[in-house]
């Protein structure tokens, strides 16, 4: 079984939003609504400021509250790689998943269903990288299988310090930020 | 395929049209219309290579059509600039096609200039109108009275038409409002400028110093790719900037330098490196000229002295200087790009050049490489008419080291009529009202014109002042000149249409050719179609047009780019060496070694206005792009959190900015932040549009250009220092 994950090197990320634009064109997301975004976090006062820039999206959690709470069976874990997806035709647009997601990763598509990052599973299943990863001019995003110890993502997590978002929420997020 | 050395051909930009002997028997054939692809809506995916035009970097791209409709654009993996990855603007290129505000048809104004009231006309009517006025200008004032402002490779053919008509008064803001001081500072020191794309060997640098340059926000693709690669490889980053930039977040040393004191910091760095004997002694001994005099001049410029000017901690100045020396020669002090700040910019750039020289990094990995290019012969055109008059922009060589034509010099001549009158402006793809300082002067000049033409894809502010507006096809709909690039490895790139223009838009080559024909200059365009032009040039270079169409790129053979690889270590300065002490500056009354002069402060309660770039926009050209406007649809004014508290300003609140001359901006949102000094504010350039045609960007954010009423001329090269304006906050609606 594969376990897909994304590793993002915050040391290299410049927050250029290419990942956001690429997702928009690849997945034709509605105007003004995005499946990924850039977060800035800075602390301190000049000249001693620490800043982290992150490309964020659905964390494709191992313990996804959006799936547990879905009354329609629309939110589900895909058979490949543990990717969290939504069956658009089953979704009633009730927003329970939006309330349950601690990462604010979902929105209601104007067509009525819950929408979010799919890890570009349509690309991954044909051997391509997710659109955001494939365009990143900073080369700061990595995608792969954590079950494979030889994968780039596995090796990066072994060799570098990293964190994930809101680990205390118990969701077991699968996006890791190298620091 | 041959390569020619850069020094034989020091020219910025892409392929340049050079006059040669006329083609015998050149037939004059009427072109029926611009290229139409007449693509049927082919089912499935089509991939067509081209190169990007959302900025001027010219990254190789592959456009995807899905069922005949534009879908997405990716980088072309064969392209040495993008290496298969575009920047967000390139990825968002589709949004330029869908832009609802695009110019759709040729327009002739029907009321006074600037009122933006138009009549739609045919191309024939528009071009006949322009040709008629141009002939009258030529008759009354001579052809030199026609000036062209042109930015980017797209303008190559209209430049050719204007030269054929008889004028050399052709300019772009990219010199006097942007990289001019840098290129002059380096040329005075090393005998060569920096070029574009820059020949900075960022990816191999072990220490990178950025002075106000905000790579990552300033999204020149190859530069950013190499910068992040260097960061990933553990390069030591040093950033001096009044604002804690994205790059500052990657820095080992961040120096929040007081705006305008950069030369003091540079002199102090060099003082430490020279006094402690940390410079590359072999390089300096072998290639340096006037080092002893230089060293003597900077003895007093200690970190202690610089602290009072820059506000940067003495220890940090000293340690960061030693850090640079530790990694020499693989230490790169980046020359920057937009360098027109305070009017002493050529000297600041010279100080940057000298600090690089102390690192001994010229022609060496991690410093500056020697870019190579392929030898693609120019098309043989008739010779341009000879003019008795010098160019209008710099009479008496007032700015002795101006390497290129000065936009502001043409503007001044248009206002004063001296040294001779300028009566016609043609403006291609550059929004002069946002690019030149003091927009009232630009408007005053326009009022003196007999003819004002704008060729563009969107109704920019400058288009609003035109007599005739010509709508150009966007890059995805047109061919442009070949890009014969100077880079690490030489290559040729093709821009080719992937989809038809939706309305009456036409490519520049077609506009330039048709106008030339109307002017009786058809012999200057002996080819019928641009593909004939490509085929001729490529065949002379031994290359295949079919291969170029298919791949978008023809790579050339790799050539030496470093001294160690065989590039001769020659410095085309007067001394033939790296000039630590510049006699040519001294002879004209300038400082032979840069000196620091404190720039004037603003009035009490005013803050220095700084501006820069966002990664998702180019100049003032992309704010109506349907994708990029979703990424950032207005700018913010960055205000230090303590200052904001003092003025009772909260994050997200709208304010207006008033400058020292009483000019009041449009509303702009406040970003309160710790990431900027207390004596300045910052905004992203280009927003605050007031062109009625730009409906989706109209009055969103504020225009820095509007607030830049004051500018300080660089006496060496005629650049316009623009960071000399100060603003305060108006909170009332």
Chain A positions in Cβ-Cβ contact with residue B87 (cut-off 8 Å): 16, 18, 137
Helices (H), B662-723: 704-707
The b/e string for B414-434 (b: 16+ C-beta within 10 A; e otherwise) is bbeeebbbbbbbbbbbbbbbb
In B252-271, the residues whose Cβ lies within 8 Å of chain A are: 254-256
Mean pLDDT of B414-438: 98
Q: Whole-angstrom Cα distance, residue B62 to residue B279?
A: 46
Answer whether B249 sits within 8 Å of A9, measured CB to CB: no
Residues of A in contact with B75 (CB under 8 A): 135
CB B245 within 8 A of CB B214: yes
A156 touches chain B (CB under 8 A): no
Contact B507, B479 (CB under 8 A): yes
| pLDDT of B379 over the 70 cut | yes
Average pLDDT of B454-477? 98
Query: Has residue B495 got a pLDDT over 60?
Result: yes
Asked if the Cβ–Cβ distance from B674 to A17 is below 8 Å, we say: no
**DSSP string of B155-211?**
GHHHHHHHHHHT---EE-HHIIIIIHHHHHHHHHHHSS--TTTT-B-GGG-SEEEEE
pLDDT of residue B37: 63
> Could you tell me if B675 lies within 8 Å of chain A, comparing CB atoms?
yes
pLDDT band at B24 (very low <50, low <70, confident <90, very high): very low
Q: What residues in A contact B228, CB-CB < 8 Å?
A: 12-14, 137-140
Contact list, B232 vs chain A (CB under 8 Å): 9, 11-12, 139-140
**Which residues of A are less than 8 Å from B316 in CB distance?**
47
Determine, for residues A51 and B615 on separate chains, whether the beta-carbon distance falls below 8 Å.
no
ipTM: 0.97
Predicted local confidence at residue B226, as pLDDT: 98
User: Does pLDDT of B41 surpass 90?
Assistant: no
Cβ atoms of B578 and B357 closer than 8 Å: yes
> Does residue A31 belong to the interface with chain B, where contact is any CB pair within 8 Å?
yes
pLDDT of amino acid B732: 77
Residue B443 CA to its chain's centroid (Å): 22
More confident residue, B30 or B96: B96
* Nearest residue, CB atoms, A25 vs list B91, B224, B249: B91
Percent of chain B scoring above 70 in pLDDT? 94
In the structure, what pLDDT confidence band is assigned to residue B243 with cuts at 50, 70 and 90?
Answer: very high
B chain contacts of residue A44, beta-carbon cutoff 8 Å: 674
In the predicted model, is pLDDT for residue B237 greater than 70? yes
Closest residue to B88, CB basis, from A21, A26, A49: A21
Contact B221 A139 (CB under 8 A): no
pLDDT at B22 over 50: no
Q: Are A137 and B627 a contacting pair at CB < 8 A?
A: no
CA–chain centroid gap for B38, Å, is 35
* pLDDT of B330 over the 50 cut: yes
For the stretch B151-190, pLDDT in tens is: 999 999 999 999 999 999 999 999 999 999 999 999 999 9
pLDDT bracket for residue B40 (50, 70, 90)? low
Q: What's the rounded Cα separation, in Å, for the pair B491 and A118?
A: 38
User: Where does the pLDDT of residue B39 fall: very low under 50, low under 70, confident under 90, or very high at 90 and above?
Assistant: low
Task: Please say if the pLDDT value at position B5 is more than 50.
Answer: no
- Best of B72, B202, B626, B679 to substitute, by most chain A Cβ atoms within 10 angstroms, is B72
**Domain ranges within chain A, ordered by starting residue:** 4-178
Q: Is the per-residue pLDDT at A74 higher than 70?
A: yes
Does the domain at A4-178 match CATH 3.40.50.300? Answer given as: no
Contacts of B221 in chain A (CB under 8 A): 137
Contact criterion met (CB < 8 Å) for B616 and A137: no
pLDDT score, position B447: 97
The predicted model gives A67-84 an average pLDDT of: 97
d(CA B159, CA B177): 20
Determine the 3-state secondary structure of B419 from DSSP: coil
- Considering only CB atoms, which chain B residues are within 8 Å of A123? none
**Residues A31 and A115: beta-carbon distance below 8 Å:** no
Are B620 and B634 within 8 A, CB to CB? no
Give me the helix-helix angle, B530-540 and B508-518, nearest 10°: 110
**Taking CB atoms and an 8 Å cutoff, what residues of chain B touch A26?**
72
Mark yes or no for CB contact B91/A18 under 8 Å: yes
Q: Is 60 exceeded by the pLDDT of residue B29? A: no
Contact A16 B626 (CB under 8 A): no
The answer, for A62 touching chain B at a CB cutoff of 8 Å, is no
- Rounded Cα–Cα distance for residues B98 and A33 (Å): 18
Coil vs helix vs strand at B718: coil
**Rounded mean pLDDT, B11-24:** 36
Pairing of strands B553-555, B491-493: antiparallel
Instruction: Please state, in angstroms and rounded to a whole number, the distance separating the CA atoms of residues B290 and B271.
Output: 16
Distance between CA atoms of B544 and B165, rounded to whole angstroms?
A: 32
Measure the CA–CA gap between B640 and B672, rounded to whole angstroms: 6
Separation CA B141–CA B159 (nearest Å)? 20
Whole-number pLDDT of residue B729: 98
pLDDT digits (tens, 9 = 90+) for B254-289: 999 999 999 999 999 999 999 999 999 999 999 999
Burial class (CB in 10 A: 0-12, 13-18, 19+), B547: middle
Query: Could you tell me which of B165, B172, B164 has the C-alpha nearest to residue B134?
Result: B165
How confident is the model at residue B397, as a pLDDT? 97
Neighbouring residues of A176: CB distance < 8 A, sequence distance ≥ 6: A5, A6, A7, A8, A153, A157, A162, A163, A164
pLDDT at B640: 98
DSSP symbols for B558-623: P---SGGGT------STTSSEESS-HHHHHTTS-SS----PPPP--TT-EEEEEE--TT--TTTST
pLDDT at B680 over 70: yes
- Tell me how far apart the alpha carbons of residues B448 and B600 are, in angstroms, rounded to a whole number: 33
> In the structure encoding, which two tokens stand for residue B551, read together?
């791949």
Kindly state the percentage of chain A with pLDDT values over 70: 100
How far apart, in whole angstroms, are the C-alpha atoms of residue B396 and residue B391? 10
Which residues of A, range 126-155, sit inside 8 Å of B by Cβ?
134-140
Chains A and B form CB pairs within 8 A to the count of 123
What DSSP assignment string belongs to B483-541? EEE-BSS-EEE----SS--SSS-B-HHHHHHHHHHHTT-GGG---SSHHHHHHHHHHHT
CA B101, distance to chain mean position in Å, is 24
**Side-chain-side CA neighbours of residue B570 (13 Å):** 8
A 10 A CB-CB count for B281 gives 13
**B106-133, pLDDT tens digit by residue?**
999 999 999 999 999 999 999 999 999 9
Mind listing the domains of chain B with CATH numbers? 181-370 (3.40.228.10), 607-730 (2.40.40.20)
Q: Which of A41, A46, A142 to mutate to test the interface with B (most CBs of B within 10 A)?
A: A46
A58 touches chain B (CB under 8 A): no
Which chain A residue shows the shortest CA-CA distance from B83?
A137
**How far, in Å, CA of B547 to CA of B539, rounded?**
12
Residue B510 in this model has a pLDDT that exceeds 70: yes
Cβ burial, residue A172 (10 Å; 0-12/13-18/19+): middle
Which residues, numbered 588 to 617 in chain B, qualify as contacts with chain A under a Cβ-Cβ cut-off of 8 Å? 615-616
Q: How far is B82 from chain A (nearest CA, A)?
A: 8
Q: Examine the pLDDT at B15 and tell me if it is beyond 50.
A: no
Region B606-614 average pLDDT = 98
C-alpha B137/C-alpha B93 separation (Å) is 38
Distance CA B84, CA B208 (A): 25
Q: How many CB atoms lie within 10 A of CB B245?
A: 26
CA–CA min distance A147, chain B (Å): 25
Q: What's the pLDDT score for residue B42? A: 83
Q: Which pairing describes strands B146-150 and B424-428: parallel, antiparallel, or unpaired?
A: parallel
Interchain contact B228–A (C-beta under 8 A): yes
């Amino acid at each position: 079984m594969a376990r897909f994950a994304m590793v993002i090197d915050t040391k290299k990320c410049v927050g250029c939003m290419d990942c956001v634009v690429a997702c928009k064109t690849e997945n034709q997301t509605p105007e003004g609504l995005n499946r990924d975004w850039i977060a800035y976090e800075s602390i301190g006062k000049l000249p001693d400021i620490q800043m982290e820039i992150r490309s964020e999206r659905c964390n494709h959690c191992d313990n996804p509250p959006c799936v547990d709470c879905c009354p329609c069976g629309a939110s589900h874990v895909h058979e490949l790689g543990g990717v969290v997806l939504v069956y658009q035709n089953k979704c009633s647009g009730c927003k329970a998943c939006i309330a349950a997601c601690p990462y604010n990763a979902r929105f209601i598509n104007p067509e009525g269903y819950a929408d979010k990052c799919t890890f570009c599973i349509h690309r991954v299943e044909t051997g391509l990288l997710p659109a955001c990863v494939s365009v990143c001019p900073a080369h700061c995003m990595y995608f792969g299988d954590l079950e494979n110890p030889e994968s780039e993502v596995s090796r990066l997590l072994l060799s570098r310090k990293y964190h994930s978002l809101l680990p205390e929420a118990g969701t077991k997020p699968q996006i890791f930020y190298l620091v | 395929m041959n390569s020619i050395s850069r020094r034989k051909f020091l020219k910025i930009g892409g392929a340049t049209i050079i006059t040669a002997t006329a083609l015998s028997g050149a037939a004059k054939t009427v072109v029926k219309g611009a290229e139409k692809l007449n693509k049927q809506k082919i089912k499935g995916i089509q991939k067509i290579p081209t190169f990007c035009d959302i900025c001027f970097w010219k990254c190789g791209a592959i456009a995807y059509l899905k069922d005949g409709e534009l879908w997405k654009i990716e980088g072309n993996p064969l392209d040495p600039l993008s290496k298969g990855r575009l920047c967000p603007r390139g990825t968002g290129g589709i949004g330029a096609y869908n832009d609802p505000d695009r110019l759709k048809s040729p327009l002739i104004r029907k009321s006074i200039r600037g009122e933006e009231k138009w009549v739609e006309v045919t191309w024939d009517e528009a071009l006949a109108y322009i040709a008629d006025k141009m002939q009258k200008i030529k008759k009354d004032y001579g052809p030199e009275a026609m000036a062209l402002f042109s930015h980017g490779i797209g303008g190559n053919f209209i430049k050719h038409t204007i030269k054929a008509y008889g004028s050399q008064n052709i300019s772009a803001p990219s010199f006097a409002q942007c990289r001019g001081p840098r290129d002059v500072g380096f040329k005075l020191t090393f005998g060569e400028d920096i070029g574009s794309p820059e020949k900075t060997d960022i990816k191999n640098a072990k220490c990178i110093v950025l002075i106000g340059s905000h790579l990552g926000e300033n999204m020149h693709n190859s530069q950013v790719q190499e910068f992040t690669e260097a960061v990933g490889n553990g390069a030591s980053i040093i950033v001096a900037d009044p604002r804690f930039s994205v790059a500052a977040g990657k820095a080992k040393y961040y120096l929040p330098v007081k705006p305008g004191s950069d030369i003091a910091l540079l002199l102090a760095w060099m003082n430490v490196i020279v006094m402690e004997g940390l410079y590359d002694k072999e390089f300096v001994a072998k290639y340096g000229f006037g080092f002893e005099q230089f060293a003597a001049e900077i003895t007093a410029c200690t970190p202690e002295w610089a602290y009072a000017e820059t506000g940067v901690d003495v220890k940090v100045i000293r340690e960061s200087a030693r850090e640079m020396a530790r990694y020499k020669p693989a230490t790169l002090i980046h020359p920057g790009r937009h360098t027109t700040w305070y009017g002493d910019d050529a000297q600041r750039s010279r100080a940057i050049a000298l600090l690089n020289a102390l690192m001994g990094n010229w022609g060496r990995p991690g410093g500056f490489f020697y870019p190579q290019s392929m030898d693609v012969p120019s098309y043989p055109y008739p010779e341009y008419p000879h003019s008795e008059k010098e160019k209008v922009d710099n009479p008496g060589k007032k700015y002795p080291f101006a390497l290129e034509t000065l936009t502001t010099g043409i503007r001044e001549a248009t206002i004063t009529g001296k040294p001779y009158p300028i009566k016609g402006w043609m403006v291609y793809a550059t929004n002069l009202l946002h690019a030149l300082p003091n927009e009232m002067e630009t408007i005053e000049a326009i009022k003196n014109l007999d003819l004002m033409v704008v060729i563009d894809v969107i109704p920019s502010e400058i288009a609003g002042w035109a007599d005739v507006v010509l709508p150009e096809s966007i890059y995805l709909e047109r061919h442009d000149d070949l890009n014969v690039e100077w880079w690490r490895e030489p290559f040729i790139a093709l821009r080719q249409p992937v989809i038809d223009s939706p309305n009456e838009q036409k490519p520049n080559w077609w506009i330039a050719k048709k106008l030339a024909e109307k002017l009786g200059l058809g012999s200057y365009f002996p080819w019928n179609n641009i593909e004939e032009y490509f085929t001729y040039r490529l065949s002379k270079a031994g290359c295949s047009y079919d291969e170029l169409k298919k791949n978008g790129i023809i790579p050339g053979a790799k050539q030496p780019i470093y001294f160690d690889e065989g590039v001769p270590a020659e410095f085309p300065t007067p001394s033939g060496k790296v000039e630590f002490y510049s006699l040519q500056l001294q002879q004209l009354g300038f400082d032979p070694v840069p000196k620091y002069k404190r720039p004037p402060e603003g009035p009490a309660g005013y803050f220095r206005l700084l501006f820069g770039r966002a990664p998702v926009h180019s100049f003032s050209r992309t704010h109506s792009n349907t994708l990029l406007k979703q990424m950032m649809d207005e700018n913010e004014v960055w205000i230090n959190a303590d200052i904001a508290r003092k003025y009772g300003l909260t994050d997200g609140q709208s304010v207006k900015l008033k400058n020292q001359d009483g000019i009041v901006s449009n509303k702009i949102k406040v970003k309160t932040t710790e990431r900027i000094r207390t004596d300045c504010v910052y905004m992203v350039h280009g927003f605050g549009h007031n062109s009625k045609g730009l409906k989706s960007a109209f009055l969103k954010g504020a225009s820095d250009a509007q607030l830049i009423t004051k500018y300080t001329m660089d006496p060496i090269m005629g650049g316009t220092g623009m960071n000399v304006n100060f603003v305060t906050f108006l909170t009332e609606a």
